Protein backbone atom coordinates (compact mmCIF):
# COMPACT_ATOMS: atom_id res chain seq x y z
CA UNK A 1 0.00 0.00 0.00
CA UNK A 2 1.04 3.55 -0.68
CA UNK A 3 0.01 6.56 1.40
CA UNK A 4 -2.09 9.33 -0.11
CA UNK A 5 0.80 11.75 0.36
CA UNK A 6 3.22 9.41 -1.45
CA UNK A 7 0.74 9.09 -4.32
CA UNK A 8 0.42 12.86 -4.63
CA UNK A 9 4.20 13.31 -4.68
CA UNK A 10 5.08 10.41 -7.01
CA UNK A 11 5.71 11.42 -10.62
CA UNK A 12 3.61 9.31 -12.99
CA UNK A 13 3.44 8.67 -16.73
CA UNK A 14 -0.29 7.84 -16.70
CA UNK A 15 -3.24 9.41 -14.91
CA UNK A 16 -4.27 7.94 -11.57
CA UNK A 17 -7.19 5.50 -11.49
CA UNK A 18 -9.86 5.74 -8.78
CA UNK A 19 -12.59 3.25 -7.94
CA UNK A 20 -15.24 4.80 -5.72
CA UNK A 21 -16.70 2.16 -3.39
CA UNK A 22 -15.90 -0.91 -5.49
CA UNK A 23 -18.15 -3.90 -4.79
CA UNK A 24 -16.68 -6.78 -6.81
CA UNK A 25 -13.29 -8.13 -5.66
CA UNK A 26 -12.41 -9.63 -9.06
CA UNK A 27 -12.76 -6.24 -10.76
CA UNK A 28 -10.47 -4.61 -8.24
CA UNK A 29 -7.96 -7.45 -8.58
CA UNK A 30 -7.99 -6.92 -12.34
CA UNK A 31 -7.49 -3.18 -11.76
CA UNK A 32 -4.45 -3.95 -9.61
CA UNK A 33 -3.02 -5.97 -12.48
CA UNK A 34 -3.85 -3.18 -14.97
CA UNK A 35 -2.13 -0.62 -12.76
CA UNK A 36 0.96 -2.80 -12.33
CA UNK A 37 1.47 -3.21 -16.09
CA UNK A 38 0.84 0.46 -16.92
CA UNK A 39 2.52 2.12 -13.91
CA UNK A 40 -0.78 3.66 -12.84
CA UNK A 41 -1.54 4.44 -9.19
CA UNK A 42 -4.85 2.92 -8.05
CA UNK A 43 -6.97 4.77 -5.47
CA UNK A 44 -9.74 2.86 -3.70
CA UNK A 45 -12.34 4.90 -1.83
CA UNK A 46 -14.16 3.19 1.03
CA UNK A 47 -16.50 1.63 1.75
CA UNK A 48 -15.32 -1.43 -0.15
CA UNK A 49 -17.67 -4.32 -0.80
CA UNK A 50 -15.01 -6.87 0.15
CA UNK A 51 -11.92 -7.46 2.26
CA UNK A 52 -8.57 -6.62 0.64
CA UNK A 53 -7.45 -10.17 1.45
CA UNK A 54 -10.35 -11.67 -0.54
CA UNK A 55 -9.25 -14.69 -2.58
CA UNK A 56 -11.13 -13.49 -5.69
CA UNK A 57 -9.24 -10.17 -5.53
CA UNK A 58 -5.91 -11.99 -5.10
CA UNK A 59 -6.68 -14.45 -7.92
CA UNK A 60 -7.69 -11.73 -10.41
CA UNK A 61 -4.57 -9.72 -9.62
CA UNK A 62 -2.35 -12.79 -10.04
CA UNK A 63 1.15 -12.08 -8.75
CA UNK A 64 0.98 -8.36 -9.59
CA UNK A 65 -0.10 -7.15 -6.14
CA UNK A 66 3.45 -6.34 -5.04
CA UNK A 67 4.12 -4.45 -8.28
CA UNK A 68 1.12 -2.13 -8.08
CA UNK A 69 0.75 1.07 -6.08
CA UNK A 70 -2.59 1.12 -4.26
CA UNK A 71 -3.91 3.87 -2.00
CA UNK A 72 -6.87 3.29 0.31
CA UNK A 73 -8.93 6.38 1.18
CA UNK A 74 -11.48 6.35 4.05
CA UNK A 75 -13.78 8.67 2.05
CA UNK A 76 -13.91 10.70 -1.13
CA UNK A 77 -12.96 13.96 0.61
CA UNK A 78 -9.64 12.36 1.60
CA UNK A 79 -8.88 11.66 -2.07
CA UNK A 80 -9.75 15.21 -3.12
CA UNK A 81 -7.73 16.78 -0.29
CA UNK A 82 -4.71 14.54 -0.86
CA UNK A 83 -4.54 15.31 -4.60
CA UNK A 84 -5.21 19.08 -4.73
CA UNK A 85 -3.39 19.60 -8.05
CA UNK A 86 -5.26 16.87 -9.88
CA UNK A 87 -8.14 17.20 -12.28
CA UNK A 88 -10.89 14.63 -11.68
CA UNK A 89 -12.45 13.12 -14.78
CA UNK A 90 -15.59 11.10 -14.00
CA UNK A 91 -16.58 8.24 -16.27
CA UNK A 92 -20.35 7.93 -16.36
CA UNK A 93 -22.97 6.71 -18.81
CA UNK A 94 -24.81 10.03 -18.26
CA UNK A 95 -22.08 12.16 -19.90
CA UNK A 96 -22.35 13.56 -23.41
CA UNK A 97 -18.61 14.03 -23.99
CA UNK A 98 -16.60 11.03 -25.22
CA UNK A 99 -13.50 9.88 -23.33
CA UNK A 100 -11.41 10.47 -26.48
CA UNK A 101 -12.26 14.20 -26.47
CA UNK A 102 -10.13 14.87 -23.37
CA UNK A 103 -6.44 15.76 -23.40
CA UNK A 104 -5.15 13.68 -20.49
CA UNK A 105 -2.35 14.61 -18.09
CA UNK A 106 -0.36 12.35 -15.74
CA UNK A 107 -1.79 14.25 -12.76
CA UNK A 108 -5.41 13.50 -13.72
CA UNK A 109 -7.59 11.13 -11.71
CA UNK A 110 -9.89 8.91 -13.78
CA UNK A 111 -12.88 8.29 -11.52
CA UNK A 112 -15.15 5.28 -11.80
CA UNK A 113 -18.21 4.77 -9.61
CA UNK A 114 -19.34 1.55 -7.96
CA UNK A 115 -20.60 -1.43 -9.89
CA UNK A 116 -24.37 -1.85 -9.85
CA UNK A 117 -25.63 -3.28 -6.62
CA UNK A 118 -27.19 -2.30 -3.35
CA UNK A 119 -25.86 1.25 -3.10
CA UNK A 120 -27.36 4.24 -4.94
CA UNK A 121 -25.60 5.94 -7.85
CA UNK A 122 -23.32 8.49 -6.13
CA UNK A 123 -24.27 11.52 -8.25
CA UNK A 124 -22.87 13.82 -5.56
CA UNK A 125 -19.49 12.18 -6.28
CA UNK A 126 -19.72 11.66 -10.05
CA UNK A 127 -21.16 15.12 -10.76
CA UNK A 128 -19.92 17.10 -7.75
CA UNK A 129 -18.02 20.39 -7.84
CA UNK A 130 -14.66 18.61 -7.64
CA UNK A 131 -15.25 16.93 -11.05
CA UNK A 132 -13.63 18.83 -13.93
CA UNK A 133 -15.08 16.67 -16.71
CA UNK A 134 -17.67 13.94 -17.16
CA UNK A 135 -17.01 11.55 -20.02
CA UNK A 136 -18.39 8.29 -21.35
CA UNK A 137 -17.40 5.33 -23.45
CA UNK A 138 -19.72 4.79 -26.43
CA UNK A 139 -21.95 1.72 -26.35
CA UNK A 140 -24.86 0.36 -28.27
CA UNK A 141 -28.02 1.89 -26.77
CA UNK A 142 -29.77 -1.38 -26.00
CA UNK A 143 -27.09 -2.60 -23.59
CA UNK A 144 -26.65 -1.67 -19.94
CA UNK A 145 -22.91 -1.52 -19.26
CA UNK A 146 -19.40 -2.77 -19.86
CA UNK A 147 -17.35 -4.40 -17.08
CA UNK A 148 -15.79 -1.81 -14.76
CA UNK A 149 -12.17 -2.81 -15.28
CA UNK A 150 -12.69 -3.16 -19.03
CA UNK A 151 -13.82 0.49 -19.01
CA UNK A 152 -10.87 1.52 -16.86
CA UNK A 153 -8.47 -0.33 -19.18
CA UNK A 154 -9.82 1.45 -22.24
CA UNK A 155 -9.49 4.81 -20.46
CA UNK A 156 -6.00 4.23 -19.06
CA UNK A 157 -4.65 3.02 -22.39
CA UNK A 158 -6.16 6.00 -24.26
CA UNK A 159 -4.59 8.39 -21.77
CA UNK A 160 -1.26 6.56 -21.90
CA UNK A 161 -1.38 6.55 -25.73
CA UNK A 162 -1.92 10.32 -25.73
CA UNK A 163 1.08 10.64 -23.42
CA UNK A 164 3.28 8.66 -25.83
CA UNK A 165 3.29 5.42 -23.80
CA UNK A 166 6.04 7.03 -21.71
CA UNK A 167 7.72 4.39 -19.56
CA UNK A 168 6.38 1.50 -21.66
CA UNK A 169 7.94 -0.61 -24.34
Residues placed in the known binding site for S-adenosyl-L-methionine = 113, 137, 145
Kindly write down the DSSP assignment for every residue of 67-106, as one continuous string.
GSEEEEESSHHHHHHH-TT--EEEE-TT-SEEGGGS---T
SS3 content of the chain, % helix, strand, coil (to 5): 35, 20, 45
Instruction: Give CA separation, 59 vs 18, 103, 104, in Å.
Output: 20, 34, 31
The binding site comprises 113, 137, 145
E strand or H helix that includes residue 39: none
Q: How many CA atoms lie within 13 A of 11 on its CB side?
A: 2
- Residue 80 near residue 43 (C-beta atoms within 8 A): no
CA separation for the pair 84, 64 (Å, rounded) = 29
Amino acid sequence: MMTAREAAETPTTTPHLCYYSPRIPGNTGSAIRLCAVTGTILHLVEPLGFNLRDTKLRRAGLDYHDMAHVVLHPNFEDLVESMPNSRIIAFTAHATKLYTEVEYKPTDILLFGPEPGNIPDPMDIMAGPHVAEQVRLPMRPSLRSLNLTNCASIAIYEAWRQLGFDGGQ
